[in-house]
Structure 1
């Protein structure tokens, strides 16, 4: 039986290349090529076999025929996914590899101009109010990946700095917590995970509404009142979004900017909704859109523009074009997860069909039975943004499927347990490898085995299918019974008030449910938390050490940053060096804290060249930028003594702290 990929197998819905969307087209093409093992043929790593003859007979004719067939299949796919304008420039190409080289040489050039343009886009990128944090992170990672593809150098530290410095003001508390975490834990993967959790908490608290600080940051006017009634804030329409209202003149009308919300007599206008344009404030008989012959968009069904300039279609296309990374197929202890849908309205038992996942994945441990655990770090999943999510086990799951009114019990085997994946995915590849077929329609997906439908899935988005399955679990009932709490527990519940006060409250019945055993006395053991809370720090005395008399005998140094907004050159920090004797200061702007060592060496050389003096003592805090092995070895070589302040005690480095 021939298992080679057919031409129909590559006719999946992919992005068409029009000359302006190379990155999204390249990613879409790679998915289809990898699924049919055609990547080596396209990138040129698998050459056409040379004919081997023996007795005038070609001994490897089967290999040559297979290569020709794969090349023809890949060539047709690359050619057919290009627009007509791009196809005209590929008519001279005879192999898939030549087509690929022709396109990449024109649209993915490793030129200085392209790197400068991408770097400028990276520095100027800002958080947009209509985007989620996950979309914001993926957009920055895509810019970084494009910069690397163009021959530029970028690391995770720069990506993390860009992400945290471009967040709106409502994330300032998160930024403070992130800076206080250990340096070794400030990885890109941890940042993405913590930002996802922070966004989820913010969404649960404010229902998705922007805070007052964020509205001011994005330029949204706050809600005000006039004449005892509320006036909605003016919506800031994006530049490329066409207005649904036809332009009838240069003025704004009698009502000014809020003409739709207020009439000239001070009373609210009618709330009638037009049945033609679906806009409140008029009826179909007086509708300006209908009378002016305005067109209706076939994509969003809004009157006033056509599909070619539809803002919603553009936004959906941008979200769909966020690239996802490839993963090393030689690592047998890895799996791959494709795009993750938004978690706004999902349940913990919802499972989605995913054509990009290589195995079934879930983040719910309680759904699994026969769980086999794995050591931490032994297996992982590669997902969006080149992140790795640890896999901690593998098990089976019992489900109920309903097809045409008939309910059956089935078991899904081989589900990976990844607690940080944030989604439940059923792999299309794993299903087909098990002998079943997937049939996709406009609104439904069917899992078919031997002509019989086993499972169905309903389309819930533009590319997502939600499986119609119910998870079977063992129901557990719990019975609550009242218990009497000790005086120590009440002491903790009531914010560590006095034990005698608690006894008086119990005796007088001041608090419902506060019941103590008769004759209860304050415990002899002291409360540790109370003792710690009453501690206070002694006052720092003014230093009596005389000022240095020789230039270079004592140098104070400290680092300030990261700043909320990077400089034009991309700097987020600055490092300060101050001579104790003369008060001479030098400030260097840096992008990363790792540049402090080089700045210190330059300062020591500058001081020696201009004054002839050598540095004897360097005084700084206990920051990692000063305590690294390379800098400490250099200080010992130069004979410079390094004095550090006690942890969390900036008063001991007051000279530098006051200058910041």
Structure 2
């Protein structure tokens, strides 16, 4: 009896991995050839048909329902295979560049195991191979070594010194890295009990006397009586520090004093071994749930500083550390962005830099911890990350910017990023053209940082082929399409209908509550644009949706003398202008809402804001006056120079007008 192999059904994700698995099944069942062109010398029709039917069955059984429905009309295994490859195996240059950038910038974090890191690398290798970009074993080994954490530097030196005269082999290097990880884990296990005991000793801040065995004491523990208590101010027994008569009368432990957690100090001791090979302990920031304030002893880190007097911080050994100042510090985050931390206390003698978990929680939308990573959210945006280095202790993934560095960092990218967001997350290429024409004041060159909102929001399939024909006058041809929203807008709209003038590419968007509202919206649109332009709509192109094919539509267009054009059923490419316009509008809408941390219910207002008429279009050769033909945009231009845009009048946050 043949062995049965089950693979996860393909649901539209990770096509390259699924393709590898299904090919193995087809090969084992002897029908792999059926997904390719039939060889000319293969004359046995019965055998080929049997092979093709077996391949079709294997493919059908390996597809999820939502994907299976799309290949229902395909008659051969090759047709099915080609259809899936066309839909899900995107072989665009953009996709190849994106994967190569991700591969060559990949870095292993401390919270990631070697096995997880190798899986990530192998997935990228497989995806690039499917795009006809082959990476040899030597280069794969080099990429693995360069992506390892700094703590593996000695291993890298050993491996490269042993292979001076021969090429590195990826499998051998991967095995060596896995072996090194196992060695470290075994070492940590051996030292675990000792470190835990030391950590608990420091965490409780108590002498070993209090932790003696209670085997000699039965019933209520004697440690609860006051005579066994030890004062951490004078060192004598019989009372606690808060009751100590040796404290100065004006010294109130509860007044004007910041706390640091005993747990935090203990865990810092526990993490000392784990911190070897990283940055110096005094250079990193720890996220401490017991800290009242953000605190550091590094005066040179402040770029906005005010000396103060009064206030103390008590460490785990009850040493009072004086607060001498307060100010602002800038941090460079894991993604290259700069974050400002205000009201940071300058504490002399503090041996670690603390970010107060409580203050972060008060100012953030939410804080999540999962798989050793802490994420601080502002809206939907992750603004800060922490990496777990010991139990309940997280190290900030970022570094402090000194005053000069902070100024340079904020000036170099903030203006570019601000223009990018105000222009509806315009592409870097489009911004470069505007800078060359001196349309963006304050920018002389454009080097757009990685915008995670654009990456997340603008993923799409290959674009449709564009037509060479083009309207020769305004309103000679108008394209239209309807898009259904995933959520209802604040105004109750569930759809929007878009209209695009083929000649000028001017776009209009109308949120609507029902598809039945399309007809009344078109009448309003027609009256408006014909009045604005002085021209009449001559031809109207749309798909075959029921909202465009009713009898009232036919009567209306017959009376107005407007020619109708419909696309072929299931061929949205023929309505490519409207399809591409809707895609662009939605990409920028998603990016804007993500960047602003707003709810999806604001999509209607956001769509209005990011319409393409707000850009100076490249294909219109930067004719700003052409935009003024349709709408008064004077408020968006520099009063002193009508050829340049004015930054302060263009809004980032979606307009509610």
Structure having the larger proportion of residues in helix: 2
Select the structure with the greater relative contact order (CA < 8 A; seq sep ≥ 6): 2
Settle same-fold status: TM greater than 0.5.
no
TM-score, scaled to structure 1 = 0.30
TM-score, scaled to structure 2 = 0.30
